[in-house]
Structure 1
Amino acid sequence: MSTSPEEHYHDWLRDAHAMEEQAESMLNKMADRLEHYPELRQRIVQHIEETKQQQSLLKQLLDRHDIHNSTLKDAMGKMAAFGQAVGGMTTPDEVVKGGISGYVFENFEIASYTSLIAAAEHVGDAEGVTILTQIREQEIAMAEWLYTHLPDVTQQFLLRSSQSGVEAKK
């Protein structure tokens, strides 16, 4: 049995919604734990708001195509994000590893939206192309911010970790 391009596109829209649910959960856990890196925390909080907007835009696309988002995929994404957050709490270099993981995740999102845009173009969903391009631009901006600021976060961490009695990990 073959799958139509529209069915693939709809599946990938569901995946994108689940991905943004995971992103929100992961970002919230990270922001809640950051104490000594205010610039990173501020940018993460900004991206949480962008992520919520992205979820809303994706929900509009799902509704317009009469696609029901996958509760199971959303729940699995949140559980994966929780696992990542808990795993990070146990490492002494949580902020650095969190920044690296965030950068990797943003690039995964960029690739996902690039593919989704091509699928939207293929099935003739002009509104989808516009929305997905807007979301991808936000993901690119976040990835670039992390790329630019990760060296500073790493240096701040190294400086803090070398000082006796100073918490560095978060």
Structure 2
Amino acid sequence: MTPQENYHDWLRDAHAMEKQAESMLNAMSSRIDNYPDLRAKIEQHLTETQGQIKLLEEVLDRNNINRSLMKDATSKMSAMSQAVGGMFASDEVVKGSISSYVFEQFEIACYTSLITAAEKVGDIASIDIFKQILAEEKAMAEWAFNHLPDVTEQFLLRDAAAGVEAKK
């Protein structure tokens, strides 16, 4: 494959990744009842993610790249499977928080690579978009990492209390 073909493929991957993130964040947000700070942050990042999808669609359109319906559908199915699987875990909120942090790191790596690829193929107009998205992903990853101890502690306290729901 040429650098241009790889770049186009990675753009499709990024779009599918953000569609997956949107599905996961929607599912998480709808299930969190007892952790208001976490829920608010997830809803904020959901809004950012929806904006990122629009930005990526602008990049795809400007480069005359068709979206991959198969990749988008597969990523959404993966997100739904993860959400359904989490519903059965007694420590759903902790596992979801850990998964969110890991997913943010994956997104950070993808956008770091996309910036280099855009530079290589001369898509200068997209570099600032990728840097903006990268900054949002780094901020979310930092928040998730810094708040993981709080979520864990809240879960442990709730889980140890009789008659208190802890998992979500």
Both structures adopt the same fold (TM-score exceeding 0.5): yes
Of all paired residues, the percent bearing the same amino acid is: 62
Deviations 1:93-150 (A, max 9, x none): 0000000000000000000000011000111111111101100100000000000101
- Alpha-carbon distance, 1:61 to partner: 0.3
Find 2:122's aligned residue among 113, 124, 131. Answer: 124
Q: Structure 2: which 5+ runs fail to align?
A: none
1:33: which partner in 2? Answer: 31
Alignment of 1:106-145 (within 5 A): 106-145=104-143
1:164: which partner in 2? Answer: 162
2:12: which partner in 1? Answer: 14
Q: Structure 1: which 5+ runs fail to align?
A: none
- Alpha-carbon distance, 1:46 to partner: 0.3
1:72: which partner in 2? Answer: 70
Deviations 1:3-48 (A, max 9, x none): 1111100000000000000000000000000000000000000000
Structure 2 length-normalised TM:
0.99
* Residue aligned with 1:134, SS: helix
Tell me whether 126-135 or 102-111 shows the greater mean CA deviation: 126-135
* Residue aligned with 1:92, SS: coil
Runs of at least 4 residues off by over 2 Å: none
Return the alpha-carbon distance in structure 2 between the equivalents of residues 126 and 45 of structure 1.
31
Return the alpha-carbon distance in structure 2 between the equivalents of residues 60 and 123 of structure 1.
17
Structure 1 length-normalised TM:
0.98
Return the alpha-carbon distance in structure 2 between the equivalents of residues 72 and 160 of structure 1.
41
RMSD: 0.4
Return the alpha-carbon distance in structure 1 between the equivalents of residues 116 and 126 of structure 2.
10
- Alpha-carbon distance, 1:76 to partner: 0.3
Return the alpha-carbon distance in structure 1 between the equivalents of residues 125 and 39 of structure 2.
33
